[in-house]
């Protein structure tokens, strides 16, 4: 059965297509292929260039190579507490239990983590993790992960559709039937027919001005899911990484790994004060050093001292930095100092943090082995995303799965550093597995409605055919300013209202957007189409932020500065009905008693939990 729309297009048929070529997408494709499904990965960029390469510090897994006291239960506890108890307990449990196997599997496929003296995988300290838990490769762990998965995918002969941008999911009677988009290199349209689809499209941080995210992170998967009838959850929780570069302007927002602090870097304000001691929340008091002497001792003797507040979860640190700068204690360019040079030798820094050294040397003329450097918060990660079933990663749409940053649940209100890379492989694998199983149960891909293709083509072609309309770059720039200024780290009702008004005006401008030139590798046109996703997600974030009238994790309200126990019981869920976004709150799933004891047993997680195997 073939379809005949008026626009010429390529057509391919698979059992499973995975949209997104980052860590989660590749892991899903590897699993689906291993299950016997004919699988393709669609990447918006070249193969192996996804945002995963920006993950620097490591991947969290209770391997117990450095701390035998660690275990999945401690990791589970840290993840839930870091997420301000809003995370999905089942996802956090699966994640903590399965991540060690996923790390070892990467090693099997060629990854080379740093080693302990005994030849095992070395683990490093990171914010919010009770024990040194992050398997890492210097400060380029994400690169190692994606390269390993990339060559594993090549080994399995998986089809990779590079520089291919999916603009629409196609439905047949309530379940997915395929996807439609275009090749960026030629501008040709492509129809992918499939029995199951995995979304692994990452976040949408590109809508902020100061961000670690590349042009790709426009939230396509979130929009596609909404349009297909799936739901978003926790979308108000956007992580601002505490340490991004602030100067020069051209690199503002560029990520500075948490590994700098994990390996001995301390935060200081312009007076040289280690201000983090003033920002230790009640919730973490028991396990955090309250004076510089103890914090300093912790670096050398971790058993008998509490950890430095420089390594509190990211939301706490980002807010503290923001407060210091607002109080006039910031650095010349509006950040705070991060200083590793006074604690560590130049050799140590260059060995542990080679790419940070080069990044500052090349881009800012700063030698981090000799001097402190300026850092400030930068938009980094979406805790929220597509609502999925914890075990199967299935969305509410039949045949549609989601994993990685574009899925919600694991991280709750705030993600711990290092939990992202393990999230990618744990839930990427599950997505691939369940998508393949779902596909195996279908006889053939669903039918494709040619009029749907026509509509998609008409929408995609419009900016090219329109003359002298709105400039896509200008809309994007305005949106970035709006989200940065009004829906940033600290939020308040009036600003959120204003943001919503502006986003609606951008949507109106987007309807008149025009992109000069042809379809062949035309970034202006590509952006004009991606703006649809950026605006949809921005609206969802703004409205969810407006609804949640409390401060929790990555969502801080100036007008509701405290966490509200009532809001701890609900997630904000976003749906699309009649072309409009509709929001409502829904209760969290109930955590079983034995798990909730692990979480509440203040620092007394059962250290000797039996190692878990899958």
Partner 1 sequence: MSEAVEPARREATVRVFRGEDRASGGFVDYTVPVDPGMVVLDVMFRVQQMRAPDLAVRWNCKAGKCGSCSAEVNGRPRLMCMTRLSSLPATEPITVAPMATFPLVRDLVTDVSFNYEKARTFPNVKLAPPGPDGKRRMYQEEVDRVQEFHKCIECFLCQNVCHVIRDHEENKAAYSGPRFFVKMAALEMHPLDTHSRVEMLRAKHGLGLCNITKCCTEVCPESIRITDNAIIPLKERVVSEYYDPLAWVKRRIFGEKEPAAPAER
Catalytic residue set: 241, 261
Nearest to 268 by CA among 348, 352, 329, 359: 329
- The distance of closest approach from Cβ of residue 46 to partner 1 in the complex, given in angstroms and rounded to an integer, is 6
**Helix crossing, 523-547 with 472-486: angle to 10°?**
20
Whether omega for the bond prior to residue 248 falls within 30 degrees of 0, making it cis, is yes
CA 376 to CA 180: how far, in whole Å? 40
Q: Which pair of structure tokens corresponds to residue 238?
A: 């956007």
Nearer to partner 1, 101 or 227 (CB): 101
- The distance of closest approach from Cβ of residue 354 to partner 1 in the complex, given in angstroms and rounded to an integer, is 8
Residues 396, 231: contact at Cβ < 8 Å? yes
Q: Measured over all CA atoms, what is the biggest interatomic distance in the chain, rounded to whole angstroms?
A: 73
Nearer to partner 1, 162 or 607 (CB): 162
Beta bridge partners of 401: 198, 394
Nearest to 55 by CA among 314, 424, 306: 424
Nearest to 41 by CA among 141, 145, 152, 144: 152
CA angle 40, 45, 48 (to 5 degrees): 70
CA angle 493, 495, 496 (to 5 degrees): 65
Nearer to partner 1, 197 or 200 (CB): 200
Nearer to partner 1, 477 or 584 (CB): 477
Nearer to partner 1, 531 or 591 (CB): 531
DSSP code, position 232:
E
Q: Which pair of structure tokens corresponds to residue 70?
A: 């660690």
- The distance of closest approach from Cβ of residue 47 to partner 1 in the complex, given in angstroms and rounded to an integer, is 6
Nearer to partner 1, 369 or 542 (CB): 369
From edge to edge, which strands make up the β-sheet containing 336-339?
A: 238-245, 373-382, 336-339, 266-268
How long a stretch of residues is the chain? Answer: 614
| Counts of helices then strands in the chain (DSSP H, E) | 16, 20
Q: Provide the 10 A C-beta neighbour count for residue 61.
A: 30
Nearer to partner 1, 49 or 261 (CB): 49
- The distance of closest approach from Cβ of residue 272 to partner 1 in the complex, given in angstroms and rounded to an integer, is 13
Beta bridge partners of 245: 375
- The distance of closest approach from Cβ of residue 421 to partner 1 in the complex, given in angstroms and rounded to an integer, is 14
- The distance of closest approach from Cβ of residue 431 to partner 1 in the complex, given in angstroms and rounded to an integer, is 23
- The distance of closest approach from Cβ of residue 66 to partner 1 in the complex, given in angstroms and rounded to an integer, is 14
CA 403 to CA 488: how far, in whole Å? 25
């Amino acid at each position: 059965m073939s379809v005949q729309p008026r626009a010429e297009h390529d057509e391919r048929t698979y059992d499973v297509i995975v949209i997104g070529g980052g860590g989660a997408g590749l892991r899903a494709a590897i699993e689906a292929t291993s299950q016997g499904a004919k699988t393709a990965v669609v990447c918006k960029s070249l193969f192996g260039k996804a945002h995963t390469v920006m993950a620097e510090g490591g991947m969290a897994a209770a391997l117990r190579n450095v701390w035998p006291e660690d275990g999945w239960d401690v990791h589970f506890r840290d993840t839930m507490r870091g997420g301000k108890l809003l995370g999905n307990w089942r996802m956090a449990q699966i994640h903590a239990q399965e991540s060690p196997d996923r790390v070892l599997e990467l090693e099997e496929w060629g990854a080379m983590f740093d080693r302990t003296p005994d030849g095992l995988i070395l683990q490093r300290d990171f914010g919010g993790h009770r024990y040194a838990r992050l398997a890492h490769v210097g400060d380029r762990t994400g690169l190692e992960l994606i390269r390993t998965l990339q060559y594993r995918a090549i080994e399995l002969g998986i089809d990779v559709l590079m520089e291919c941008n999916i603009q629409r999911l196609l439905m047949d009677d309530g379940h997915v039937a395929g996807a439609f988009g275009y090749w960026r290199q030629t501008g040709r349209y492509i129809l992918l027919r499939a029995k199951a689809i995995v979304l692994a499209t990452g976040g949408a941080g590109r809508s902020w001005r100061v961000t670690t995210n590349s042009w790709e992170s426009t939230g396509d998967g979130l929009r596609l899911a909404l349009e297909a009838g799936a739901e978003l959850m926790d979308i108000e929780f956007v992580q601002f990484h505490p340490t991004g570069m602030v100067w020069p302007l051209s690199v503002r927002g560029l990520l500075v790994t948490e590994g700098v602090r994990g390996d001995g870097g301390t935060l200081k304000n312009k007076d040289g004060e280690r201000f983090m001691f003033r920002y230790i929340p009640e919730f973490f008091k028991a396990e955090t050093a309250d004076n510089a002497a103890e914090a300093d001792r912790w670096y050398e003797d971790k058993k008998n001292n509490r950890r430095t507040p420089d390594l509190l979860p990211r939301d706490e640190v980002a807010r503290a930095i923001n407060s210091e700068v607002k109080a006039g204690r910031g650095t010349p360019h509006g950040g705070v100092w991060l200083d590793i040079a006074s604690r560590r030798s130049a050799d140590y820094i260059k060995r542990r943090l080679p790419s940070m050294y080069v990044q500052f040397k090349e881009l800012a003329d700063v030698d981090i082995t000799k001097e402190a450097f300026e850092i400030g918060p930068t938009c980094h990660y979406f805790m929220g995303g597509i609502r999925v079933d914890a075990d199967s990663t299935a969305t509410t749409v039949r045949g549609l799965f989601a994993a990685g940053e574009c899925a919600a649940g694991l991280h709750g209100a705030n993600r711990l550093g290092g939990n992202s890379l393990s999230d990618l492989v744990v839930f990427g694998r599950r997505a691939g597995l369940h998508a393949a199983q779902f596909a195996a149960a279908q006889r053939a891909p669903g039918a494709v409605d040619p009029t749907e293709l026509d509509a998609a083509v008409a929408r995609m072609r419009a900016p090219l055919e329109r003359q002298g309309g709105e400039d896509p770059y200008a809309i994007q720039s305005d949106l970035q300013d709006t989200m940065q200024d009004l829906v940033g780290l600290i939020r308040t009702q009036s600003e959120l209202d204003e943001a919503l008004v502006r986003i609606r005006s951008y949507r109106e401008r987007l309807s008149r957007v025009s992109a000069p030139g042809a379809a062949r590798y035309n970034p202006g046109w590509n952006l004009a189409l991606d703006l649809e996703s950026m605006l949809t997600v921005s609206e969802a974030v703004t409205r969810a932020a407006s609804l949640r009238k409390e401060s929790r994790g990555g969502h801080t309200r100036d007008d509701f500065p405290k966490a509200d126990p009532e809001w701890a019981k609900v997630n904000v869920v976003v749906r699309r009905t009649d072309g409009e976004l509709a929001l409502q709150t829904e209760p969290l799933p109930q955590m079983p008693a034995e798990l909730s004891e692990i979480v509440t047993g203040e620092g007394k997680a059962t250290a000797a939990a039996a190692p878990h195997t899958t």
